[in-house]
Structure 1
Amino acid sequence: MRSDPASSSGFTLLEVVVALAVVTLGIIAAFNLIVQISTGSLQMKERTIAGWIASNEITRLRLSGEFPEVSQFDGDVEFAGETYRWRATVSETGVEELRRIDMDVSYVDNPDIVIGRSTGFIAPAPPPRLGGSNWTAAADSGPGAAESLNDQVDEVEDGDTQPQTPDTDGSGREDNR
């Protein structure tokens, strides 16, 4: 006995093809989302590393003690297993004795594409203080107000664990901190 084809239950070929098309579109969308997320996290990692490199190089310039001329210079640095190229552009700020440093970071293989940029400012190092290491701590400039820090260190070395500080509030007694 044959059953009536109109009353049979099941999917037609057209319904199966449409269902497969919908599932395929969903899989493609999910795959594209995964690719975008991984690309975004890679770019975020690159920008973070480039920011660290730029900050390190600006700090290195500040600590060198040299006041850079208005110029442009570059260098290579290895960081996190990759070699990067940084390019510093030193420019005037309009404020005397203050320079702006724009630091661009890129890969050595592709120096035209900047992956990170940072800006800093640099001023000349202050002149060294006179008097060597004999520093003084004073609450006011009156006679006898300054007590040598070297004397305080000697007191601590002699067993007095509380260095004395000068009278700062005018009460006539020394403050113990």
Structure 2
Amino acid sequence: MMQTNRGFTLIELLIAMAILAVAMGALLQSAAQNAFNMTNLRDRTIAQWVAANKLAELQTRKTWEDVGKRNGEMSMANSTWYWQTEVQRVNDDDLRRVEISVKKSPDDESSLYTLPGFLASPNVFVSEDSELQQ
């Protein structure tokens, strides 16, 4: 009576383990990429908030922002963020263009987020009947 062997041969086990190793490597690489993307997205979102806060601060000041570049820092989400504003003149004397760039580190070459906006002269206001006055 002949007995049949059941189970896997050594070569079949080695091939299965090689396939598993390749699959696990791809899975780990995907998980690492997702973690990086999530951190990057978090940083960009907070940089947007920092820029929006700085623009709101500039727009609500009672003094006119001087033309030129300014640097500063702001604390948000338990981190320090570094911003730079660049204020430029435009054709309208009652407006100035501002560009706010936000970085995670002052040594970073490129910014995480840049927000353009406009600043109105503090001498211009809206009256009760919604007409612009000077």
Output the TM-score relative to the length of structure 2.
0.81
Letter in 2 for 1:68: E
Structure 1 ranges of 4+ moved more than 6 A: none
* 1:1-177 equivalent positions in 2, closer than 5 A: 7-108=4-105, 110-127=107-124
Deviation at 1:87, TM superposition (A): 0.5
Q: Distance in 2 between matches of 1:70 and 1:56?
A: 20
Q: 1:113 to 1:127 in 2, by over 3 A?
A: closer
Q: Is the 8 A contact 1:70 1:91 kept in 2?
A: yes
Q: Distance in 2 between matches of 1:118 and 1:109?
A: 17
Q: Is the 8 A contact 1:98 1:123 kept in 2?
A: yes
Letter in 1 for 2:104: Y
Percent identity (aligned): 24
CA deviation vs aligned residue, 1:38-80 (integer Å, no higher than 9, x gap): 2111111101100000011111111112222321111011111
Q: Is the 8 A contact 1:76 1:108 kept in 2?
A: no
Query: Which is higher, the Rg of structure 1 or of structure 2?
Result: 1
Q: Distance in 2 between matches of 1:77 and 1:87?
A: 11
5+ unaligned residues in a row in structure 2: which ranges?
130-134
Letter in 1 for 2:89: E
Deviation at 1:109, TM superposition (A): 5.2
Task: Report the aligned-residue RMSD.
Answer: 2.5
Higher relative contact order (Cα pairs below 8 Å, separated by 6+ residues): 2
